[in-house]
Amino acid sequence: MTALFVAEKVSVRYGAVKALTDVDVVLEPGVVHGVIGPNGAGKSTFIDALSGRTRTTSGRVLLDGVEITRRPVGWRRHRGISRSFQRTSVFGSMTVRAQLEMIAHRHRETDLDGIVTALDLVPVLDRVCSEIAYGTQRSVDLAMALIGRPRVVLLDEPCAGLVQDESVRMLAHVRDLCKEREVAALLVEHDVDGVFRTCDRITVLDLGRVLASGDPAEVRANEDVVRAYLGSAA
Ligand SMILES: Nc1ncnc2c1ncn2[C@@H]1O[C@H](COP(=O)(O)OP(=O)(O)OP(=O)(O)O)[C@@H](O)[C@H]1O
């Protein structure tokens, strides 16, 4: 069977800096795939390369077995590859409702109510985005990424800036919604415990290379990962 979304030996250089070298990932519907690694490991570069924001130096990206490596961001979004950013991308001056409806219109979403309800956004629909709590803004970011029934979502640190309780709730939402909607998710996150709790598979990057990949138990037990990254916390 053809995998939904594949990164094959993806490499990215910024001048002399090798930000990513030969990184492989396979994403499947309803599977949450975490990517962890220390600062500068190449996590954001990987999401940027998969979403079309950064040009790969070599390697291939495939959707349904068809190469899309050079396709631009907008083309990918319209074919069901969406992403969220490390920093919230809500428009501060709009209401939550206006912002979500605008994106729903653009991507022909027919069940905006379902997304809004699942993410507990009903009480803030008529509030201006800049006036709602930061944790709720992050839920609006997730809602925006899920609009249009994407087949693949690439989430860049959805828990950045959240307190522990909010982070737990956010990752539960990510997992539940990806399972319910059969979305293939790639989750980059610094909250390592959250990633181990949430993800079905995990890839660990270090200095732009894959240090380990597998299910959470395999990765947690991997000696290279413990030595280089998890330390005694494992
Ligand atoms: N635009 C750029 N120009 C040059 N080097 C860059 C650029 N963006 C990233 N890098 C370098 O590429 C490497 C990977 O960076 P990247 O931001 O992808 O790592 P990261 O794992 O997401 O880090 P963090 O956890 O701090 O967000 C780092 O060495 C970084 O300094």
Pocket test for ligand 1, best of 13, 21, 36, 44 (most atoms within 8 A of CB): 44
- 3-class DSSP assignment, residue 225: helix
Residue with CA nearest ligand 1 atom 25? 39
pLDDT in tens, 38-68: 999 999 999 999 999 999 999 999 999 999 9
* Cβ atoms of residues 26 and 5 within 8 Å: yes
55 Cβ inside 6 Å of ligand 1 = no
19 Cβ inside 6 Å of ligand 1 = yes
Residue 86's pLDDT is: 76
- State the closest ligand 1 atom to the C-alpha of 20, by its place in the atom list counted from 1: 14
Is residue 6 very low, low, confident or very high in pLDDT (cuts 50, 70, 90)?
Answer: very high
- State the closest ligand 1 atom to the C-alpha of 14, by its place in the atom list counted from 1: 4
Residue 115's pLDDT is: 93
- State the closest ligand 1 atom to the C-alpha of 41, by its place in the atom list counted from 1: 21
82 Cβ inside 6 Å of ligand 1 = no
Over residues 120-148, the mean pLDDT reads 93
Residue with CA nearest ligand 1 atom 6? 14
6 C-alpha to center of ligand 1: Å?
22
122 Cβ inside 6 Å of ligand 1 = no
110 Cβ inside 6 Å of ligand 1 = no
Q: How far apart are the first and last CA of the chain?
A: 35
Over residues 162-190, the mean pLDDT reads 94
CA dihedral in degrees (153, 156, 160, 166; nearest 10)?
A: 10
Please report the ipTM that was assigned to this predicted complex: 0.95
Question: Strand 201-206 and strand 209-214: pairing?
Answer: antiparallel
To which residue do tokens 């001048």 refer? 15
- State the closest ligand 1 atom to the C-alpha of 15, by its place in the atom list counted from 1: 4
Q: Is CATH 3.40.50.300 the right assignment for the domain spanning 1-80+150-233?
A: yes
34 C-alpha to center of ligand 1: Å?
18
User: In the chain, what are the domain boundaries?
Assistant: 1-80+150-233, 87-149
